[in-house]
Amino acid sequence: MASPYQAYRDQVTSDWSRIDMLIALFDKAIEVLDKLLLARDDNDEIQYQQQTLFFMQVMLHFRTGLNPEYGELPLQMLRLYEYIEHSVATRDTEQLQSARTILSDLRDSYNSIRDKATELEKHGEIPSLSHQQLCDKTA
C-alpha cells in the first residue's frame, strides 16, 4: 500500500494553481476538525490525539506559506492560525466549532477569488508552482 504522501503525489497534476492548493489545504483542515469533533464526542482519546497531530501538520503547511516580507497581512494570518491551533488544544467543543467556522470562512473567501487568482497566475502576475513544489508544499 502506498503512503498517503505517495498517493497524494500521484494524484497531483501540474495544472494546479496556488489558490487550488490553498483551498485544498483548507478542505483538509476542515475535514480533520470534523474528525476531531467526532472523536471528542465519542471520547476516543487515541483518535483525538492522532487527528490533533495531523491537524497540526496541516496548519504547519499554512504557516510555511506565509512570507513576512509582504507586510502586516502574513503576520495577521499567523496570529489567526495560532488562535485556531490554540482552539484545538483546548479540546472545548465551542472552541473547536469556532476554529472550524474560521477555517470555513477563510476557505470560502479564497474560493470567491479563485477565478481571478487563477487568471493572474496564468498571465504570470502571480508566479505558478511546479508539480514538485505543489507536492512538497501540500503533502
Confidence of residue 125 (pLDDT cuts 50, 70, 90): confident
- The answer to the question of residue 97 being in a domain is yes
As a three-state string, the secondary structure of the chain is CCCHHHHHHHHCCCCCCHHHHHHHHHHHHHHHHHHHHHHHHCCCHHHHHHHHHHHHHHHHHHHHCCCHHHCHHHHHHHHHHHHHHHHHHHCCHHHHHHHHHHHHHHHHHHHHCHHHHHHHHHCCCCCCCCHHHHHHHHC
Q: Say which CATH number the domain at 48 has.
A: 1.20.120.340
Stated pTM of the model: 0.79
User: Which has more confidence, 131 or 40?
Assistant: 40
- The answer to the question of residue 8 being in a domain is no
- The answer to the question of residue 5 being in a domain is no
pLDDT for residue 107: 97
Range of the domain at 113: 13-138
Total structural domains in the chain? Answer: 1
* 123: pLDDT strictly greater than 60: yes
- The answer to the question of residue 1 being in a domain is no
- The answer to the question of residue 125 being in a domain is yes
Tens digit of each residue's pLDDT (9 = 90 or more) over 92-104 = 999 999 999 999 9
- The answer to the question of residue 68 being in a domain is yes
- Percent of the residues in the chain that have a pLDDT greater than 70, as a whole number: 81
Confidence of residue 35 (pLDDT cuts 50, 70, 90): very high
Q: What is the mean pLDDT of the chain?
A: 86
Confidence of residue 124 (pLDDT cuts 50, 70, 90): confident
- The answer to the question of residue 6 being in a domain is no
